[in-house]
Amino acid sequence: MPESLQPGASQPTQDERTMALLAHMLQIVAWWIAPLVIFLIRRESRFTAFHALQALVLQAVYLVLMGVGVVSFFATFFLVMMAHAPAARNAPAPPALFLLGPLFWLGAMGLWVAVLTIAVVYGIKAGRGEWAEYPVLGPIALKMLKLRPGGVPL
């Protein structure tokens, strides 16, 4: 049975669909702030709250992963520098440093492209009125809102 036709599920209004779409799309430029504001002002709408909470959780995970990436970048940088401490003052930099920067940059850009893709795809689905769940984070958002798939209250 399609999620929108489950007992207890209701079709979202155009306003709810627009706000859910904005929660996904605005996270691209406003990070976690836009989904948080939409979640707080539209909490009474299960549909909008669900989509805004998914975007908010995605941004929290993104923030944590970027923080871990930055800390690991600097830790690796300093470990490489300590391991290759030159005896002479004018010694060349270790070759590992020339690989380290681009690798971490590619990882950060790959993560950003993943967030961008998820935001666009699920923003389109929210605009259509679908109760689309992010692969791992969707069930977490449903559990936080005490909802079943399709927006049916527990």
The pLDDT of residue 87 is 58
Q: How many CB atoms lie within 10 A of CB 76?
A: 15
Q: pTM of the prediction?
A: 0.87
54-82 pLDDT, tens digit per residue, is 999 999 999 999 999 999 999 998 888 88
Residue 44 CA to residue 46 CA, distance in Å, equals 6
pLDDT above 50 for 1: no
pLDDT above 90 for 90: no
On whether residue 32 sits in a domain, the answer given is: yes
Domains in the chain: how many in total?
1
Segments forming the whole domain that contains residue 51:
12-80+92-145
More confident call, 99 vs 61: 61
On whether residue 3 sits in a domain, the answer given is: no
pLDDT above 80 for 94: no
Q: What are phi and psi of 92, to 5 degrees?
A: -70, 160
Residue 84 CA to residue 104 CA, distance in Å, equals 20
On whether residue 116 sits in a domain, the answer given is: yes
On whether residue 151 sits in a domain, the answer given is: no
Q: How confident is the model at residue 84 (pLDDT cuts 50, 70, 90)?
A: confident
pLDDT above 50 for 4: no
Q: What are phi and psi of 146, to 5 degrees?
A: 60, 50
Residue 63 CA to residue 9 CA, distance in Å, equals 33
On whether residue 43 sits in a domain, the answer given is: yes
Q: Is 43 helix (H, G, I), strand (E, B) or coil?
A: coil
Our CA dihedral for 97, 100, 105, 108, rounded to 10 degrees, sits at -150
On whether residue 153 sits in a domain, the answer given is: no
pLDDT above 60 for 145: yes
On whether residue 5 sits in a domain, the answer given is: no
pLDDT above 80 for 49: yes
Distances (CA, A) of 78 to 75, 94, 96, 133, 148: 5, 12, 11, 40, 48
DSSP assignment, residue 32?
T
Distances (CA, A) of 147 to 11, 77, 83, 140: 15, 45, 52, 10
On whether residue 2 sits in a domain, the answer given is: no
